[in-house]
Structure 1
Amino acid sequence: MTPHVQDVLLAEPRGFCAGVDRAIEIVERALAQFGAPIYVRHEIVHNTYVVNDLKAKGAIFIEDLAEVPAGATLIFSAHGVSQEVRQEAERRGFSIFDATCPLVTKVHIEVAKLRREGYEFLMIGHKGHPEVEGTMGQLSDGIYLVEDIDDVARVQVHNPEKLAVVTQTTLSVDDAAGILNAIKQRFPHIREPKQQDICYATQNRQDAVKIMAPQVDVVVVVGSPTSSNSNRLRELAERLGTPAYMVDCPEDLQSSWFEGRPRVGLTAGASAPDVLVQRVIGQLKALGAVSVRRMQGVEEHVRFPLPKGLGGTGLDRPLPSERGQA
């Protein structure tokens, strides 16, 4: 390949968040404690490398609980599950560990609490995403998905006076704000969460791209195609006027992206391990990069405890940024 790259600017923060780090650790600890196979409903996090790494260690990823043998250990993915899935898993008698991100669980708890108070809900999110299916599946009715401003104009609710809004945690902060403004205009009495649902890691990684994109000629996002937050990072860079590409692995890089664009910004979605970022940096060096420097950025110290029964409180674990591999 003809070298085109000169400088690489690394976004801070990037890569694993506390919820992803915890979810992966739950699978690894379950494998260590109970032995293979361990069954996981849905990809534990949306990253090909992570999923393949855990498969090699003995995790089996399934969508249908009928695929799980009686008495097996089952883990719910970081995205959360509906009440229907939870109840079916309990009926089937599995040994269950819940790797749902605590920030998603917070949304589930809020939905259940306000429903008991007679509220209906609008959910801002992407149809078909497992987190959206899990959150909407906390209720049998009274929750309506809005994906864009047009949906806000069309949605029909029973009582606009008792309406609350929740948000998928991995959305574009700016897109969600635009949809929320439209909701407030149509439903002035809408009840909002005390703290926004979009998670700290999604916000921080998007903020970093906003600072980085204007300083570079092209942005590369390490993340899998199914990763919502990774897709949002690429879209955000493009929206800011900087060409941006997403790569699942270093081999996805194309030298043509860097022709006449010597300054490369590099970030990673919250489910992408640092080992992939380091390999992408190696590939960029092969394309001529002579300097790699880190941006100044927010330091994240969030850590979530592990579920009971998996040994330890989880508070003595290394930070996500310190864990090189999934």
Structure 2
Amino acid sequence: MSDTTTRTISNERTEQEIAEETSETESATTCPECGGNLVTDTEHGETVCGDCGLVVEEDEIDRGPEWRAFDASERDEKSRVGAPTTNMMHDKGLSTNIGWQDKDAYGNSLSSSQREKMQRLRTWNERFRTRDSKERNLKQALGEIDRMASALGLPKNVRETASVIYRRALDEDLLPGRSIEGVATASLYAAARQANTPRSIDEMITVSRVGEMEMTRTYRYIVRELNLEIQPADPESYVPRFASDLDLSDETERRARELLDSARETGLLSGKSPVGLAAAAVYAASLLTNEKVTQSEVSEVASISEVTIRNRYKELLEAEHDLTAA
């Protein structure tokens, strides 16, 4: 067969395919009975003819976005699915809960016998949610992580990361010989540092149920065994929180960052506590911008001593002076 003949057959096949696609498109947008235009009724999930009223398709799935909701009740009414799975719950949120309201589907109060029955059902439901000791351990730990994260004002992504770290430690049998609270505190501390929203050890100990020695020992053990990649804490990551708690201006926060940049160039940050450097930078910046903040106020916010602030802020000012003079 010659090239001319092959090219002719190919062109004919292409024209035939185009004609079939065109006819399918037209049939999808026109009524098969009268040829009128089809209209999609999203409220009833139907496709009907705008001229004769023929229902072409019904029970369609609406794949569009959710409707806007302005409160919890509207969101519940318009939601098509349940809550997404989350690592912050021991069963990842796939189980069901029996509500605490003693009311039926119509909002009427239950009788005393029915209330007792519902209470028994809640008790057994709570027992069945944790099948073994491992799940009970995980449930207690995740509750502890959520409690500490709420007290420290940590965002949801940090809680999720801490839950994943704890699950890994539990799966690799790192908990024997260590308390649930200690591993939970260490997981949350590691997650906060990974998310670049660190909290100091003193802050963690304040909300935790374990001591500093147990928490730091467990933290080092988990990081080593799980091979977690955690960078050294940057003093600048503490500055926004300290400035916000002290109600300082953006100019003061920017000036504190500049002081820390100067200290980094001169090598002053090496071997010093990032929390102390951040607090000293905020205090020094408040002096340079004429904002009235006392050392005791900064000390209370940062949970460090006033002596540390006095020593570090002088070093920061000297480092900036030396860098400017050079």
TM over 0.5: no
Q: TM-score, structure 1 length as denominator? A: 0.22
Q: Which protein has the larger Cα radius of gyration, Structure 1 or Structure 2?
A: 2
Higher relative contact order (CA 8 A, sep 6+): 1
Q: TM-score, structure 2 length as denominator? A: 0.22
Higher helix share: 2
